[in-house]
């Protein structure tokens, strides 16, 4: 989503150092040329994607085993990526059809694959799921030339879609939902926007959230756990991408040691974090980050 300048609501909070707070473990699919890790549940099961040759495919990492998801379906033949997994083992994500359009998916613990398409959308992607099975994500509307007209968030519950828009926004993305039904995501003023802001939706109220980093152009919230800990990414004044963790009033930047770019996508109730890091070659690698005990 592209950003347009809006007034930022900068939070004045303590800032912790970049990676001294965490123990990192690199994650790479054996023999793969790309690995992403996007979500982790309370059993420590991780989802994302892997690639040996293009395109990438949805992946589950469980008990130290790398398991391609539904390999005999469109997830195994076309581009696909898993973004979150709940404690029941239900997985959500996105895949591309043969015409290049994006569809959300829900893969149940029983290996039943359901395509999720918001009514009237050009593209749909599912980015989060909680323990009750409520799915969140984003749907886009494109013009005849394939240009973005608008983007909106959504929730999906037992076959029913509900649109989610930050008040007064042009675009809205919903990245995560916790067991209490709290939502997190990102919003901006429209397709030509150059600045994006995070948000939290709780108890029927939207709250804007911007990282306490001067000159940052994007704050995107990707997950929220049952304890209310918030995970996301931001782009700093120099255009570099960093992960971050917000716990109460404490903000911590997440930078994988030696990486040129770090993102943070999933957090469970124990505070285990997954995301991606990139080196100078631009190839995605997954990671697991655990906060060091004090």
Residue 261 pLDDT level (bands cut at 50, 70, 90): very high
What's residue 112's pLDDT? 97
For 15-278, which CATH superfamily applies? TolB, C-terminal domain (2.120.10.30)
- Residue 14, number of CB atoms within 10 A of its CB: 10
Stretch 248-270: mean pLDDT, rounded?
A: 96
* pLDDT level of residue 218 (50, 70, 90 thresholds): very high
Rg (CA), the chain: 18
- At 293 the pLDDT is 79
Which of the four pLDDT bands, split at 50, 70 and 90, describes residue 13?
very low
Exposed, middle or buried, 112 (CB in 10 Å: 0-12/13-18/19+)? exposed
Question: By C-alpha distance, which of 275, 257, 294 is closest to 18?
Answer: 257
Could you tell me the residue ranges of all domains in the chain? 15-278
H helices of the chain, in order, are 74-77
**Is the pLDDT assigned to residue 8 strictly greater than 70?**
no
Residue 292: the pLDDT is 86
Q: Report how far residue 294's alpha carbon sits from residue 290's, in angstroms, rounded to the nearest whole number.
A: 12
Question: What average pLDDT does the segment 66-95 reach?
Answer: 98
Residues 171-212 have pLDDT tens digits of 999 999 999 999 999 999 999 999 999 999 999 999 999 999
φ, ψ for residue 68 (rounded to 5)?
Answer: -60, 135
Please compute the mean of the pLDDT values over residues 83-112 and round it to a whole number.
Answer: 97
Lowest-pLDDT range, 58-62, 173-177, 189-193, 290-294?
290-294
Q: How confident is the model at residue 3 (pLDDT cuts 50, 70, 90)?
A: very low
Return the minimum-mean-pLDDT range out of 11-20, 137-146, 190-199, 224-233. Answer: 11-20
* Residues in CB range of 70: below 8 A, 6 or more apart: 58, 76, 107, 111, 113
Distance (Å, whole) CA 285 – CA 282 = 9
What percentage of the chain exceeds 90 in pLDDT?
91
């Amino acid at each position: 989503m592209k950003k347009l300048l809006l007034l930022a609501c900068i939070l004045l909070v303590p800032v912790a150092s970049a990676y001294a707070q965490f123990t990192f473990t690199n994650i790479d699919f054996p023999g793969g040329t790309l690995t992403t890790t996007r979500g982790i549940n309370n059993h420590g099961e991780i989802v994302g994607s892997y690639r040996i040759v293009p395109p990438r495919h949805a992946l589950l990492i469980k008990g130290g085993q790398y398991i391609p998801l539904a390999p005999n379906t469109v997830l195994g033949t076309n581009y696909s990526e898993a973004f979150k997994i709940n404690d029941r083992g239900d997985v959500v994500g996105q895949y591309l059809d043969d015409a290049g359009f994006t569809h959300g998916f829900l893969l149940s613990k029983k290996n039943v694959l359901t395509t999720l398409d918001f009514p009237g959308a050009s593209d749909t992607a599912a980015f989060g799921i909680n323990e009750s099975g409520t799915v969140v994500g984003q749907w886009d509307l494109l013009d005849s030339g394939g240009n973005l007209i608008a983007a909106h968030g959504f929730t999906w519950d037992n076959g029913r879609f509900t649109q989610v828009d930050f008040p007064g926004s042009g675009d809205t993305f919903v990245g995560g939902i916790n067991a209490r039904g709290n939502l997190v995501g990102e919003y901006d003023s429209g397709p030509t926007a150059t600045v994006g802001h995070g948000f939290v939706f709780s108890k029927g109220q939207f709250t804007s959230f911007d990282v306490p980093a001067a000159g940052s152009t994007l704050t995107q919230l990707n997950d929220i756990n049952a304890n209310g800990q918030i995970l996301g990414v931001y782009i700093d004044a120099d255009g570099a991408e960093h992960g971050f963790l917000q716990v109460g009033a404490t903000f911590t930047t997440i930078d994988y040691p030696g990486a040129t770019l770090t993102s943070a996508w999933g957090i469970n109730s124990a505070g285990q974090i997954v995301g991606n890091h990139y080196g100078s070659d631009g190839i995605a690698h997954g990671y697991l980050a655990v906060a060091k005990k004090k």
